[in-house]
Amino acid sequence: MRHRFAGAAFAALFASTATAQMLELETDELTFGFIKLTDMAPLAVAYEQGYFLDEGLFVTLEAQANWKVLLDGVIDGQLDGAHMLAGQPLAATIGYGTEAHIITPFSMDLNGNGITVSNEVWEAMAPNIPANADGLPQHPISAAALAPVVEDYNASGRRFDMGMVFPVSTHNYELRYWLAAGGIEPGYYSPEDTSGQIAAEVFLSVTPPPQMPATLEAGTIYGYCVGEPWNQQAVAMGIGVPVVTDYEIWRNNPEKVFGMTAAFAEENPNTAIAVTKALIRAAIWLDENDNANREAAVEILSRPEYVGADEAVIAASMTGTFEYEQGDVREVPDFNVFFRYNATYPFYSDAIWYLTQMRRWGQIAEAQDDQWYFDTAERVYRPDIYLEAARMLVDEGLASEADFPWDSDGYKAPTPAADIIDGIPYDGRAPNAYLESLPIGLKADQRVVGRAVEG
């Protein structure tokens, strides 16, 4: 689906170009891909607010059928860049699946995902969940409440299937993290078996995000992990209940990135900076004044050329609330974060977390030393491009000096135990020590051989 610039973009162009510094662009006509999810918002906003045009960029946005099609489009040059799963540039660069050197100069958001189960599963889980004084379930809900349900399904010969969006997606790793934190084995990958279902108690498989609710309703899967608005869509349809958000699994966890090939960035350095400038401005707009622009963003995203879901469904999470069961609406102001907390900065420590999860579940088959994790993160995440774009925006009066981590070495402070559902802290400077601290998953020199973990 193609969407070319229109009158609103022209208006925004004339409103803001007076202060913009124009780079000498190597190319100015660009096509970017995205998947129909709320967190593609920075692309839509940069387009609709005229921020791309301010940089002299004539952008076409194209919705893609699925994450594999999107990645292939970037690699083969049909797309100049795209809204990507954070694991995609990393996996491609290390040669897991399709091999290509992809980089990211911009992190698109924090949080934004949820795990939903069918009504049948929810009813079976509910007796295992403590209640608040008001009678509503206590959150966060541990996967330990799901464990006896899975046991009953397996005992009756019903395989417990759940959906996630792609093997190297945040959703895959978050769903696995939640299950493992509750004592449920989510399965392993090996070079010979890339299903991810080796030794699994819950069987995870790929379903494109917009198809999640229909697949759940059909009974093909019993739950899923996906970004918005597809958890809230299940609530609106009355077919499922979101049991936990990724904000509850890991507070302010990294989510999508904007990816492009390393070759594109090398051949078009000024264009890469200009794109990053526009996306930073979009992220600022999305979060500024305590999310004052979110209702306008919801209207934009509801258009068929973008997410194409009902405004009420998108607004259910985008405007600072989240609905679990129908009528159980709770305040979650940070469910979607686009700029605050340095959300747009491409931290090496975020990249390393994804790499540890690839190793934990066998997508990285052999143990790697800490330096390998550091070096791989630096090949893919490009804070140098980001900071050059940020500096220009500050100099132009379009961003605040205080909003950027100028002196960062690329590593966040360790995430404390209290911010993670299993109470295990994460420090990106110690990837192997972190892997050793996780009760379920590959450690040290362990590897998957046949249908079992050895070592």
pLDDT score at 15: 43
Q: Tens digits of per-residue pLDDT, 205-225? A: 999 999 999 999 999 999 999
Q: How do the domains of the chain map onto residue ranges?
A: 2-110+255-323+334-346+382-403, 113-253
Contact 442, 448 (CB under 8 A): yes
pLDDT confidence bin for 14, thresholds 50/70/90: very low
* Burial (CB count <10 Å: 0-12, 13-18, 19+), residue 406: exposed
Residue 265, sorted as left (phi over 0), alpha (psi -120 to 50) or beta, turns out to be: alpha
Take residue 387 and report the two structure tokens written for it. Answer: 């900071």
| Mean pLDDT confidence for 83-108 | 97
Cα separation of 299 and 289, whole Å?
A: 18
| Mean pLDDT confidence for 416-429 | 98
Q: Report angle CA 18, 21, 26 to the nearest 5 degrees.
A: 130
Mean of all residue pLDDT scores within the chain: 95
Contact 137, 131 (CB under 8 A): yes
C-alpha distances (whole Å) from 95 to each of 132, 172, 198, 259 are 47, 18, 21, 16
pLDDT confidence bin for 402, thresholds 50/70/90: very high
pLDDT confidence bin for 230, thresholds 50/70/90: very high
Please determine, for residue 302, whether its predicted confidence score (pLDDT) is greater than 70. yes
The CATH label, of 3.40.190.10, 3.30.590.10, 1.10.1760.20, 3.30.420.40, for the domain at 2-110+255-323+334-346+382-403 is: 3.40.190.10
Please determine, for residue 1, whether its predicted confidence score (pLDDT) is greater than 60. no
Please determine, for residue 449, whether its predicted confidence score (pLDDT) is greater than 90. yes
Percentage of the chain with pLDDT > 70? 96
Helix (H, G, I), strand (E, B) or coil at 384: helix
pTM of the entire predicted model: 0.94
Please determine, for residue 2, whether its predicted confidence score (pLDDT) is greater than 80. no
Q: What is the CATH number of domain 113-253?
A: 3.40.190.10
Take residue 169 and report the two structure tokens written for it. Answer: 């997606």
Contact 33, 83 (CB under 8 A): yes
pLDDT score at 47: 98
Please determine, for residue 31, whether its predicted confidence score (pLDDT) is greater than 80. yes
Helix (H, G, I), strand (E, B) or coil at 253: coil
| Mean pLDDT confidence for 189-196 | 96
Q: Tens digits of per-residue pLDDT, 353-370? A: 999 999 999 999 999 999
Higher pLDDT, 350 or 17: 350
Please determine, for residue 19, whether its predicted confidence score (pLDDT) is greater than 90. no
**Do the domains at 2-110+255-323+334-346+382-403 and 113-253 have one common CATH topology?**
yes
The torsion defined by the Cα of 112, 117, 122 and 126, in degrees rounded to 10, comes to: -40
| Mean pLDDT confidence for 135-154 | 97
Contact 228, 222 (CB under 8 A): no
pLDDT score at 22: 85
Cα separation of 356 and 372, whole Å?
A: 11
Q: Tens digits of per-residue pLDDT, 389-401? A: 999 999 999 999 9
Please determine, for residue 79, whether its predicted confidence score (pLDDT) is greater than 50. yes
pLDDT score at 199: 97
DSSP E strands in 101-185: the ranges are 102-107, 110-111, 113-118, 161-164
Please determine, for residue 173, whether its predicted confidence score (pLDDT) is greater than 90. yes
Cα separation of 104 and 287, whole Å?
A: 21
Higher pLDDT, 263 or 455: 263
pLDDT confidence bin for 21, thresholds 50/70/90: confident
